[in-house]
Structure 1
Amino acid sequence: MKQLATSVLLMATFFLSGCSTLRNVFLSESDAASAIREALILGVNNGSSVLGQKGAFGKDLILNAILPQDLQKVVRTLDQLGFTPQLNRFTTTLENATVETVAKSTPIFLSGIRQLTIRDAVTLVKNGGTSATDYLRRSVGDTLHRAVTPIMRNMLDQYNISQEWNKLVSPAKLLLGNKVELNLGLDNIMALLVVNQMFKKIEEQEVAVRTNAQARTTPLLRQVFGRDWSNVNVR
């Protein structure tokens, strides 16, 4: 009887151990989707931390966003007229508005990821690279942009951006004409800048999670992204 009980115990231990091993060699759609969300959320949090700091959006980045065609001519003319300090103050003010928009927009990104319906999550895990971020961009990128735009509009109004720009360029209008007018869709342009910069940070974090063990800060991230699934069955 004692031998029978011992045998049963050994068989049970072996069975449970086997189940644990089987779980480790299979990647479920549910685990893959949850891990992708964790990686994306980690990217948003890190992106918000970086982009929410003063200096995250430089002068060139901002001017290229709002004056993509005539940037050099406008800046050169303002420099020639001695308005470089005023231009620097303007871009600093616009950057401050942008940084605050990042902070206020972070919950929107997090909510979008948590509500994201992830199809073929196992494939996204296997594809590597920035496939999860690319999926996020395709799925809710436009929605995020639309949600961030009114936040940016509010911040631009608070900082009186249009008025500040008009004061800055009024001496240059005779030389540059309409080229110095701010785009009427400035809120849309700057919101797109915020969204694109955030996606870049999410991409960087995704690559880190996939390639760097230290970036896998949760058990699920270690389980899903800590091994090569290319030749492993899925369930």
Structure 2
Amino acid sequence: MKKLIAIIALFSLSSCAELQQIANQYPTLGTAGNINIAGGLREALNNGISKQVTKLTATDGFLKNEAVKILLPQELRKVDAGLRSIGLSSLADEGLKVLNRAAEDAVKEATPIFVDAVKNMTFTDAKTILLGNNTAATAYLQSSTSTALYGKFNPVIKNSFSKVGADKVWTNIITKYNSIPLVNKVNPDLTDYVTNQAMDGVFKMIAVEELNIRTNITARTSPLLQSVFAMQDKK
């Protein structure tokens, strides 16, 4: 029970009815328990988004974070090596930077989708999370939001490529590479690739916060979070 409350408090805005269902099964919580849990749910979710996901929207949020930095797809690594071999390292570096810039733009669309997902979490979902591992809540969000995230991220990344000049940079890069004698020509779908990489980065950062708040007492930065997650510690 204590673990269940803690995990739900991490990434859920469960309805009052669902909270009452938990309380009915575990009556020792009482009315005060319901109030604390409901408030803790909202605060923990806000912390997860503000402390981790929003970091990715800043300049270099992807590029200078080795955990989520978008590297070139496998077929373009030979492009990178080829350009550097003919003295075009700066162009190769610029190509990598603009891919990460596009991802930063896209992540700004994530927050409303996550809010909707946690509002729709059912008690059955919560029980599944309880039986899962330390990233079970993250896995739930990934399964319930990936389609919507892709639909939001993909057009933003496509537009961002134009805004940050990525389309021109990569047209230039690919043209120059394809002009090198004896190389196999490339024409990758970079919009799809960066969309998926940006989504992976978001879930990696959510997993960081999930583990942190579940295992690190100092991450509970308010009396409300401390009281809710104290239930987990006593399990």
Given the two structures, how large is their TM-score scaled by the length of structure 2? 0.70
Instruction: Tell me the equivalent position of 1:53.
Output: 58
Alpha-carbon displacement from aligned partner over 1:108-167 (angstroms, at most 9, x marks no partner): 344334433233325635755111111111222222222222222221122232222121
| 1:68 maps onto 2:74 in alignment | yes
Q: Counterparts of 1:195 and 1:158 in 2: how far apart (Å)? A: 20
Shift of residue 84, structure 1, vs aligned partner: 0.6
Pick aligned residue for 1:162 from 157, 161, 167: 167
| 1:226 maps onto 2:230 in alignment | yes
Counterpart contact for 2:56–2:62, Cα < 8 Å:
yes
Shift of residue 32, structure 1, vs aligned partner: 6.4
Pick aligned residue for 1:205 from 181, 192, 209: 209
Going from structure 1 to structure 2, the CA distance change for 1:221 and 1:86 (only over 3 Å counts) comes to: same
Counterpart contact for 1:78–1:84, Cα < 8 Å:
yes
Q: Counterparts of 2:210 and 2:196 in 1: how far apart (Å)? A: 21
Q: Counterparts of 1:127 and 1:174 in 2: how far apart (Å)? A: 51
Q: Counterparts of 1:211 and 1:62 in 2: how far apart (Å)? A: 28
Identify unmatched segments of 5+ residues in structure 1. 1-20
Alpha-carbon displacement from aligned partner over 1:71-109 (angstroms, at most 9, x marks no partner): 1x221111111111111122223322322222x224334
Pick aligned residue for 2:134 from 100, 110, 129: 129
Instruction: Tell me the equivalent position of 1:80.
Output: 85
Going from structure 1 to structure 2, the CA distance change for 1:32 and 1:212 (only over 3 Å counts) comes to: same
- Higher mean alpha-carbon deviation, 75-84 vs 118-127, is at 118-127
Task: Name the amino acid aligned to 1:62.
Answer: I
Q: Counterparts of 1:219 and 1:127 in 2: how far apart (Å)? A: 27
Q: Counterparts of 1:36 and 1:130 in 2: how far apart (Å)? A: 17
Q: Which has more helix, going by share of residues? A: 1
Going from structure 1 to structure 2, the CA distance change for 1:188 and 1:34 (only over 3 Å counts) comes to: farther
- Higher mean alpha-carbon deviation, 91-100 vs 122-131, is at 122-131
Instruction: Tell me the equivalent position of 2:10.
Output: none
Counterpart contact for 2:134–2:210, Cα < 8 Å:
yes
Instruction: Tell me the equivalent position of 1:188.
Output: 192
Instruction: Tell me the equivalent position of 1:16.
Output: none
Q: CA RMSD in A?
A: 3.3
Alpha-carbon displacement from aligned partner over 1:161-184 (angstroms, at most 9, x marks no partner): 2222121232321333422x232x
Going from structure 1 to structure 2, the CA distance change for 1:223 and 1:131 (only over 3 Å counts) comes to: farther
Going from structure 1 to structure 2, the CA distance change for 1:137 and 1:36 (only over 3 Å counts) comes to: farther
* Identical residues among aligned pairs (%): 23
Task: Name the amino acid aligned to 1:178.
Answer: K
* Larger Rg belongs to: 1
Instruction: Tell me the equivalent position of 2:3.
Output: none
Task: Name the amino acid aligned to 1:69.
Answer: E
Secondary structure at 2:231 match in 1: coil
Count the aligned residue pairs.
Answer: 202
Alpha-carbon displacement from aligned partner over 1:53-73 (angstroms, at most 9, x marks no partner): 333323994333xx22341x2
Shift of residue 217, structure 1, vs aligned partner: 3.0
Instruction: Tell me the equivalent position of 1:119.
Output: 123
